Amino acid sequence: EDQVTQSPEALRLQEGESSSLNCSYTVSGLRGLFWYRQDPGKGPEFLFTLYSAGEEKEKERLKATLTKKESFLHITAPKPEDSATYLCAVRSSTITQGGSEKLVFGKGMKLTVNP
């Protein structure tokens, strides 16, 4: 069973058409939920870290929210340059190796914004 699930797997929007990306998680002992943006062939670019339910963070057209079971990445009036794959990852006190907590990634959501 996947511990981090992102939906939808792919999303096409028209420029200016707002939408939300979902990241649901089943881990306990959440130590942080992370959103990254990744362009093809490049490394993930950090967007947000959320630690507790009810927390919200914003950056330009993006807003991330967190509940006890999921996180949403809201995109307001997207532009073509927002096209990318968005990765969600969680850190949990129960997912460890060698005494260290591991980051668990979802499979990503490919967003395409058409002009």
Partner 1 sequence: DTEVTQTPKHLVMGMTNKKSLKCEQHMGHRAMYWYKQKAKKPPELMFVYSYEKLSINESVPSRFSPECPNSSLLNLHLHALQPEDSALYLCASSQALRETQYFGPGTRLLVL
5 binds partner 1 per the rule CB under 8 A: no
- The footprint of partner 1 on residues 52-91 (CB under 8 A) is 87, 89, 91
* Residues whose CB is less than 8 angstroms from the CB of residue 52 and which lie 6 or more positions away in sequence, other chains included: 66
# residues near partner 1 by CB under 8 A: 25
| Paired tokens of 31 | 């130590």
**β-pairing, 84-97 with 30-38?**
antiparallel
46 binds partner 1 per the rule CB under 8 A: yes
42 binds partner 1 per the rule CB under 8 A: yes
Candidate ranges 18-26, 60-68, 73-81, 105-113; the one touching partner 1 (CB under 8 A): 105-113
**β-pairing, 70-75 with 56-59?**
unpaired
First vs last C-alpha separation in the chain: 37
Where do contacts with partner 1 occur on this chain (CB under 8 A)? 31-32, 34, 36, 41-46, 49, 87, 89, 91, 97-103, 105-108
